[in-house]
Chain A
């Protein structure tokens, strides 16, 4: 698949051939960008995209059912009223929903399900690194590729052998201080701290150049009222990185707070507003580069189809995944809608998992980033050959 007459391997490993490295870089789909948003806590898919046209929706949901202010997608689905930017994208053919998507995990535990979601494995603790990290590793064999996570801690989805940077808003470092280079010397033999610091310093330099630092600044005490602004700023800052000449093409962001066991209507609105603002900030910040971008928003599991006794919902199975970006082909709902008929519910309580999230992820990695089927079936999503990539998305 390489356009080069001779492969790099044939020339011998370890040989420094900068002109070849440049050529290999060109072999990667030009400046394609891929962003994964992990919505933690078990995002209620039926609140993201409500099946207003499903006759069982209102009886099951009662007071939690979305009303007339929901944003219509088609004759069945409507987005939560807070998702205005995403709705506008959907109308432009740049946002689609997968309303019954799930990982292969069925334990309804946040922590196990997040592990499976992020490792991309068929079961819990089956892989020690994240699928996005392994995808970066596979892409790196074709050419230079950078990855970045946003937040104070590194999410599992980007942890692993392939180097990935991380960034969170804050002060920029004093470029004149000697400390960074003294520490790099002290960490030379340290397999954990050495590479991490080098990468962190490189990201800081990039942040200074793109002005991301100033845009991402937000007080740690920001209340929900400011949540939308903060999330938008974060989206714009991330876009700054993604459009920088030496910046990352792959990124992961986490949004917390989706575990809505009680008083869900009030609890979920600001979280969805933040999700919408993050996407809006990315869209605005990327400018023309939005056309080469795909954004995937996923959660570890959906919630019970019925409202529980405390105005909320408990841990469930399938949820709604969102696929966005200027690189998408327009289209309707992704995957089947199993409906909310009682016989169709999973274990008489949850939205039935009609789509394995890995097919969606594989499809995007294949069509958008050019990863081959074998790599996807074995390396990125181990032992997943029966899970076919979903095609026609990009």
Chain B
């Protein structure tokens, strides 16, 4: 009775298995299989993938689904639909919900909501400290039992080195990675964009790269001290990349992620005071952007993620100082990374796909990101060269805060499958998509 799928004739790019060739992918009972019998082939549903790339479903380990508490911005239903439209089949959501995910009850609530409404796989993270206040450790062990995949105070970086030291030690005991948003709060009070020429010119309060570098360095020191794996979120500064590069050479267990906006835009984009260019960490200089790209290319920065951060048009339509930080990113991420890394000639397609699939999955130990036999039938089909114009009005996300609105990008998602079920057909999420549980 198991449904059988035969994805025919695409360019299969599965970096974990070093596969990059035209061929077929088979799914039976929601999982990848290496081959099918003649009888199975005869009754398989066929998906014609000729001219398309067939890759493992994309993995985004840094998204904000705003559920519970801020569902006017996004909820698990709309957020996972945005993921599906962007080719993501697995997302890891941040705990800065309302209330914050610092207790097992809230984690259960997120998982229940996902079981009812998610169209892709949702893994929650838990807070490092109670209320993300940086003062007292959250019940990290109980959070793990409730199902968190990592712990983080994303957006509210723990300022006390003592608390951070204890948090990473404790999380290590629990077998959880700590993900850190690296920001010195005192150095960035009231800051709304990168500190530099453009902040001076625009009269906006600057957020110096040093305030990020300082905390990246702190985390390198603490990782070395404790042996714990610390994942450095949304790295944006050139010197930060260099600190990570040198730490890795010394064998220190840090990993880093790069966001689409930080490799695409610079702080000059703020010059019209368009709040869709206001995010945290901020867009930095061209030198930072180039260093970040270099860091991805040489492996200092391990993976791509989006920091998908929905806010409503009303919330964003304000004076630059008063608008919230953050932009949405899942529905444009693949095309942006293809533009910056592949179409530019920097890297081949498997390189880009690996940073969006098995590498992020490996950082958190997720069962995702490959087309190995036995793996979940999570697959994305896309046309790497198809040009499309970003139109915020067509997003699946409930929010519209996207700096690429109106941009022409290459690389279009044609189909997304989760456990062998089509959750995005290239135009829409089919009506009968069942909720996905993990």
Pair from one complex = no
